[in-house]
Amino acid sequence: MVPQALIDAVRSASPPGGVAAFDADGTLWREDVGEAFLRHLVTIGWLHLAGGRDPYAEYEQAVARDKRTGYMYAAQLQAGLLEAELAAEADRFARSWVPPRLVRAAQELRAACSAAGLLPVVVSASPLPIVRAAGPLAGFTEVAGIEVRVRDGRFTDEVLHPVTYAEGKLEAVSRFGPLVLACGDSHTGDLALLSAARIPVVVAPATGSPLATEALRRGWPILKQD
C-alpha cells in the first residue's frame, strides 16, 4: 500500500516532462530477472564458454569481484546470439516469470506517477533484451538496461555507455527528462539515483535492507516488497 502522503507528494511535484525512474530487480518484481534469464539461456544451451566452463558460475565470480563489471559481463555473454531470436526468447521467458513476482506497492506507485503526468522509466542493471521484455509486463514502455553493440543482427561483447548501475543510472535517466522520483532497493546500485531525486522511495523486504536503513536515517518513504 502506498501512503497517501507519498501520492500527494507525487501530485504536487510533477513538472511537465518529469521522469519517475524505477529500478527493476527487487523493486518492480521480486528476485532478479536478468540472472533468472541468464540461467535459462545456459539451461537451453544458448551460452557456451571455452573449455566447458559454466557461464553462470563465471558470471557469479565476476559479480563477486566487482558488481559493475559483473553485470556488464552478463550482457557480454550474449555475444554471437541473433538479436531477433534472443528478443523472442526473452519475451517468452518474461511472460511466465514476471507476473507472479510483481511488487504490488511499486505497481501502485507507478500508476500514481503516470496519473500525475510523470514518465515512468525502468532503469536496470540487467541486460537490455530481458529488461525490454519484462518492463511492459510491469506497465512500462520506456526502459534502460546494460546494452552491447549489435552488428549484422548479432550481439557483440562491446558494452555501450552509460552502464546502468549506480551513477550510470543517473546518466541513462537524464536522456528521458528531468528526474523527479526514483524508486529502488539496492544500496550500491540505487543510492546515487535516489539521492538525486526530488522524491526518493525505497522498496524493502520485511526483514529490512542496507538501503532501508539509509532511508530511515534520511526520512525517505519505504514500501513493502511483498
The answer to whether 150 and 83 are in contact (CB under 8 A) is yes
Q: Distance between CA 138 and CA 110 in Å, rounded?
A: 9
Instruction: With cut-offs at 50, 70 and 90, classify the pLDDT of residue 16.
Output: confident
Does 1 have pLDDT greater than 90? no
The answer to whether 37 and 131 are in contact (CB under 8 A) is no
Instruction: With cut-offs at 50, 70 and 90, classify the pLDDT of residue 14.
Output: confident
Pairing of the two strands 19-22 and 222-224:
unpaired
- Domain residue ranges in the chain: 4-224
pLDDT in tens, 163-191: 999 999 999 999 999 999 999 999 999 99
Q: Distance between CA 165 and CA 102 in Å, rounded?
A: 21
Residues in Cβ contact with 82 at an 8 Å cutoff, skipping those fewer than 6 apart? 153, 154
Q: Is 23 helix (H, G, I), strand (E, B) or coil?
A: coil
Q: What pLDDT, on the 0 to 100 scale, is given for residue 112?
A: 96
Does 59 have pLDDT greater than 90? yes
Angle at 57 between CA 53 and CA 62, to 5 degrees: 110
Give 87 or 1, the one with higher predicted confidence. 87
Phi-psi region of 61 (alpha: psi -120 to 50; beta: other; left: phi over 0): alpha
The pairs formed by 14-18 with CB atoms below 8 angstroms and a separation of 24 or more are 14/113, 14/116, 14/117, 14/118, 14/180, 15/178, 15/180, 16/117, 17/119, 17/177, 17/178, 18/117, 18/118, 18/119, 18/177, 18/178, 18/179, 18/180, 18/181
Name the residue with cell 514518465: 119
User: What does 84-116 look like in DSSP terms, one character per residue?
Assistant: HHHHHHHHHHHHHHSGGGB-HHHHHHHHHHHHT
What pTM did the predictor assign? 0.96
Does 24 have pLDDT greater than 80? yes
pLDDT in tens, 86-116: 999 999 999 999 999 999 999 999 999 999 9
Does 13 have pLDDT greater than 90? no
Instruction: With cut-offs at 50, 70 and 90, classify the pLDDT of residue 64.
Output: very high
Does 61 have pLDDT greater than 90? yes
pLDDT in tens, 29-53: 999 999 999 999 999 999 999 899 9
Name the residue with cell 539515483: 193
Q: How is domain 4-224 classified at the architecture level of CATH?
A: 3-Layer(aba) Sandwich (3.40)
Compute the average pLDDT of residues 5-17: 87
pLDDT in tens, 138-164: 999 999 999 999 999 999 999 999 999
Q: What is the mean pLDDT of the chain?
A: 96
